[in-house]
Amino acid sequence: VWMLADNSSSMMERRGDLAETAHSIAVASRHVQSLRLSFWAWSGAMLRVSRRSGDRPRSFSAARLWQTGGDPKDIWRLGRVSMGGTPDAHVMRWAVKAILAETRQGETPVILMMSDGSGVHDEDGKAVADHVKDARRKGIKVVGISMGEAVGQKYLERTYGNGNYIEWKGSIRQMA
């Protein structure tokens, strides 16, 4: 299970609650032997790319802050991770490929996409919903989790499908 947390600048006021909730989930997950869990922070490009190197600028960055077997206190590094935009479509496209590369035989990959925005299209013009459909075709379970009032029920249903999302409840603590 990958928890992918929006770390855009609009999440500044919610990062403490997000880290606290993720920390609690990580600690609780120790009691479930069959669960492999990772907590990621993602945003617009967190890393600078040298123009002289010929590299294309990155459309987003993701940092794994914790995974099963690690110290759950590492999740608190969220407060030190650079913030940027909300490139949801870019992140979902990457996550589909990356989680499959790490999935072991017999495991069902799960992505919990937590965002307070929609980051509508990637560089190929595909929306988050396109990547969610691709993920499901490949056997990945995807759940959208609204992290703010800007991501409403209509968007969640259109993007993740009926029953595959959690609506914003006013605060991260209420969501937990």
Dump pLDDT digits (tens) for 61-94.
889 999 999 999 999 999 888 888 888 888 999 9
Give every strand in the sheet of 165-166, ordered side by side. 61-67, 38-43, 2-6, 110-115, 141-146, 165-166
pLDDT surpassing 70 at residue 54: no
CA distance 85 to 141: 25
What would the pLDDT profile of 104-129 be if each residue is shown by its tens digit?
A: 999 999 999 999 886 767 777 788 99
Residues 62, 25: contact at Cβ < 8 Å? no
Tokens describing residue 113: 């996409």
Is pLDDT at 161 greater than 60 in this prediction?
yes
H or E element at residue 107: none
- The CA-atom distances, in angstroms, between 116 and each of 18, 101, 148 are 12, 27, 5
C-alpha 24/C-alpha 163 separation (Å) is 24
Percent of the chain with pLDDT over 90: 61
